[in-house]
Structure 1
Amino acid sequence: MRFLSRRLVMPNDLNYANSLFGGRALEWIDEESAIYAICQLETNQLVTKHIGEISFESPALQGDVVEFGLETKQVGRTSITVTCLVRNKETKKTICLADDIVFVRVDRETRLPVAHGKTFEELQARAKLEMKGLI
């Protein structure tokens, strides 16, 4: 899993218990996962189809820096499925895990699913090159 992005928990992100509001965490997860999927498939013509199991493990407090770990779980003909782990940057404690987040490529005009032309193996190979700094 690669940790690609970070956010600072601000006062307007808090719930009544002064910890990160779950709805805000889900908003961030959807956005970060979408950006990841867009970069993987090299198209911004994606929509969120499904978010599977979501598990909140520990709170994030005002001033905490949270980071988003993302990985490709599966690649279909028109879709990509990713996992997103949100953790505290300093303590590495898991804040939230969102599994089986599915994005589907759609045609700009018809909004119907269309093939993206990528394979799981291709995306894995590219990720290895990126981690080595070769691309």
Structure 2
Amino acid sequence: MHIGELAARAGMTKDSIRFYEKAGLVTGRRAAGGYRDFPLEAVTRLHCVRTAQTPGFTLAEIARHGEELRDAPDRAEALSALYGDKIPVIATRMAELAALRADLHARVGTGCPLRVAGRAGRAG
């Protein structure tokens, strides 16, 4: 199928598909006239990419783990393990964001966003 049909079926733009193609997440071959021709399974692949981005997997991680998942004897188990590995990464990021939120709260209403309330004379 041509890129326009793939975009419609996958619910994304042609530019997104071109981006994912450059990242190696989906492949199409050049048909006559220079048009990209994608297999039907590219729709499923693109849905998997979008689904994997939701819990925070980067495109590099998706590309790297995609091959592992295709070759895994039990894909559900392999995917479950990848999700399990992602949980501590998300927990760390949540802690970092909570600290950032607390820091921003301390700066609000100080008259100077570089000054943290309760730390007179120190720039934060």
Pair in the same fold by TM > 0.5: no
Structure showing the higher strand proportion among its residues: 1
TM-score category, normalised to shorter length: under 0.3
Which structure: larger Rg? Answer: 2
- Structure number with greater CO (CA < 8 Å, separation at least 6) is 1
Give the TM-score, by structure 2 length: 0.26
Structure showing the higher helix proportion among its residues: 2
